[in-house]
Structure 1
Amino acid sequence: MSNSNAVTKVDDFDIDQMDVELNDSDIEVSDKEDNSSDTNAALREEFDASNKSLDATQLYLGEIGFSPLLTAEEEVLYARRALRGDEAARKRMIESNLRLVVKISRRYSNRGLALLDLIEEGNLGLIRAVEKFDPERGFRFSTYATWWIRQTIERALMNQTRTIRLPIHVVKELNIYLRTARELSQKLDHEPTAEEIASQLDIPVEDVSKMLRLNERISSVDTPIGGDGEKALLDIIPDANNSDPEVSTQDEDMRNSLIFWLEELNPKQKEVLARRFGLLGYEPSTLEEVGKEIGLTRERVRQIQVEGLRRLREILVKQGLNMENLFDVDMD
């Protein structure tokens, strides 16, 4: 007998059987006891709902475990048929990749949505991937599908829990720096540097740089580069804490694809994006830091970044990937 079944039976006895015995014995229950009974009923209802959710998850995981994976050759065969409208092939493509959805969904646990809800959202992305996948482009389907699965999950989480929470003292300190920066920009008629902000506040430049870097990076994982806003850079950068070989392989495939697409940009655009977002061996840097490293102004770096992102978006669209949220920065 499983632990969950055992607990359920004990719970049924404690509540239901007790109610029967009290009624049969004609025992008068006080208002206080009534309240306790109501509480027990509420707790039982909550427990049962939790149990049902757990059971449903286990049942689902058990069912999809019987769906065989496709070989690379089968993948191309079924994908071609699905593109021609073969419903059986489409269904086979979906069913054979349901475990991929579960693997990805588990990485988003404890962020505001139950696992089954995450899986449901991920399955929508999987279906979309099957509809859009073109095997002639040379991608493995798992790599392509991962983009869409993450997209739908991230969007659901964004709608559920959008706010990034920071310690209150960090928020207060950041607000001081940002307010000072706004005031200086009005006085100086240009966006102030970290040195100018530090001088105004009489604090170390490094403290200002650290907070401004934090602010840029917080806002650099979700902001759309235009259009629908369907993808974030966070989705394609491998999780260093993830130990799942299959997911790590898919992340590496996507990173390699991104590096390949960067080669389509001109050298300056490629270097700016690589330095800004931590690609090609660079550490992520602020616009100001990149400017100092390559001898350009912050504003010029921003302009090159915008141009590069627009070009990158065009490339991704041609690949059938509507990655309007690939990098989180303003397009203007």
Structure 2
Amino acid sequence: MEKSMDAEDVNLVHDLELEQQVQDDLQRNLDATQLYLSEIGFSPLLSAEEEVYFSRKALKGCEKSRNRMIESNLRLVVKIARRYNNRGLALLDLIEEGNLGLIRAVEKFDPERGFRFSTYATWWIRQTIERAIMNQTRTIRLPIHVVKELNVYLRTARELAHKLDHEPTAEEIAAKLDLPSGDVSRMLKLNEKITSVDIPLGGDNDKALLDVLADDDSVGPDFKVQDEDISNSVVKWLNELNTKQREVLARRFGLLGYEPSTLEDVGAEIGLTRERVRQIQVEALKRLRDLLSAQGLSVEALFQS
């Protein structure tokens, strides 16, 4: 009579089965990715003149032209998605999210504005990919009990903001909840740091926010040109702001060589209160929204509130 397996043997078999399952899943994903890449490899790129022609027709409702714009730029999505690989989402998932951004870019692109479509689409593709990564990773960035505690503070802050007609301080929130102000302050600062990382702004040269997720070593010459174009555009728009607005945004969101900072830290660095820094940030972002709208761009392509 065969001897039954002991607990150690059972666990070993279970581990081997799990390992095989993981390997099978990886192989299926690899096969599906290779199939997709081989299928889109035959889509010809469009010249600048063809972009204008097909995008004009797409804006007028031509479905064939819309599809041609999408199909001709699927490889652009793959190149961008590869830069975010190994960040919590499978490559096919990244490509799928990027394709949604590409479709949105085709729908919004106005060829009369003077932008090349690839540069314009890059903003939308990055934004959708980064949002997907954020949604995937933010939930594991903090322990669940910390998230629940933080949500209590943020909900109380919103309630107080309506009553007080200003953003409440940590002391006011703590008084409302009958908690030590130091604990509330630490949690709010933690939330600000997470939020500042979650806001995609574009421009790898500025190492802004979630763009640092990209792997610069995998960037080809064509993408370096696009990144330089995007970075120059961001700098140009920042230069349209007044000195104080520009400095607050640069320090707050990690632009122009600064590291991302909380409202409180920015205030300490430039000699203003946290509330005043917040007000300047709101004014500056509104000004940027106006500038982007004048260029035919949606602010959501650069900022995520």
Q: What is the rounded CA distance, in whole Å, between the counterparts of 1:153 and 1:239 in structure 2?
A: 11
TM-score by length of 2: 0.68
Q: What is the rounded CA distance, in whole Å, between the counterparts of 1:240 and 1:82 in structure 2?
A: 33
| Partner residue, 2:159 | none
Stretch deviating more after TM superposition (241-250 or 78-87)? 241-250
Superposed CA RMSD in Å reads 4.3
Q: What is the rounded CA distance, in whole Å, between the counterparts of 1:147 and 1:280 in structure 2?
A: 19
**Residues 235 and 82 (structure 1 numbering): CA distance in 2 closer, same or farther, change over 3 Å?**
farther
| Partner residue, 2:58 | 82
Q: What is the rounded CA distance, in whole Å, between the counterparts of 2:188 and 2:236 in structure 1?
A: 31
**Residues 249 and 243 (structure 1 numbering): CA distance in 2 closer, same or farther, change over 3 Å?**
farther
CA deviations over 1:271-307 (Å, ceiling 9, x no partner): 3212322333444444345435544333322211121
Gaps of 5+ in 1: 1-28, 190-196, 198-207, 225-232
TM-score by length of 1: 0.63
Q: 1:255 aligns with which of 227, 231, 249?
A: 231
Q: What is the rounded CA distance, in whole Å, between the counterparts of 2:266 and 2:20 in structure 1?
A: 58
| Partner residue, 2:112 | 136
Query: Is the partner of 2:299 in helix, strand or coil?
Result: coil
Indicate conservation of the 8 Å contact 1:122/1:149, yes or no: yes
Q: What is the rounded CA distance, in whole Å, between the counterparts of 2:67 and 2:302 in structure 1?
A: 29
Indicate conservation of the 8 Å contact 2:84/2:215, yes or no: no
Q: What is the rounded CA distance, in whole Å, between the counterparts of 1:187 and 1:212 in structure 2?
A: 10
Identical counterparts, % of pairs: 66
Counterpart of 2:209, as a letter, is L
Query: Is the partner of 2:139 in helix, strand or coil?
Result: coil
Tell me by how many angstroms 1:123 deviates.
Answer: 0.8
| Partner residue, 2:282 | 306
The structure richer in helix per residue is 2
Tell me by how many angstroms 1:129 deviates.
Answer: 0.6
| Partner residue, 1:272 | 248
Tell me by how many angstroms 1:223 deviates.
Answer: 6.2
Q: What is the rounded CA distance, in whole Å, between the counterparts of 1:300 and 1:306 in structure 2?
A: 10
Q: What is the rounded CA distance, in whole Å, between the counterparts of 1:163 and 1:238 in structure 2?
A: 17
Query: Is the partner of 2:141 in helix, strand or coil?
Result: coil
Larger-gyration structure (1/2): 1
**Residues 219 and 139 (structure 1 numbering): CA distance in 2 closer, same or farther, change over 3 Å?**
same
Query: Is the partner of 2:64 in helix, strand or coil?
Result: helix
Indicate conservation of the 8 Å contact 1:236/1:255, yes or no: no
CA deviations over 1:112-163 (Å, ceiling 9, x no partner): 3221121111111111111110111122211111121122222333333323
Stretch deviating more after TM superposition (214-223 or 122-131)? 214-223
Counterpart of 2:171, as a letter, is S
2:33 is aligned with 1:57: yes
2:220 is aligned with 1:234: no
CA deviations over 1:90-120 (Å, ceiling 9, x no partner): 2221112111111111122223322112111
Counterpart of 1:258, as a letter, is V
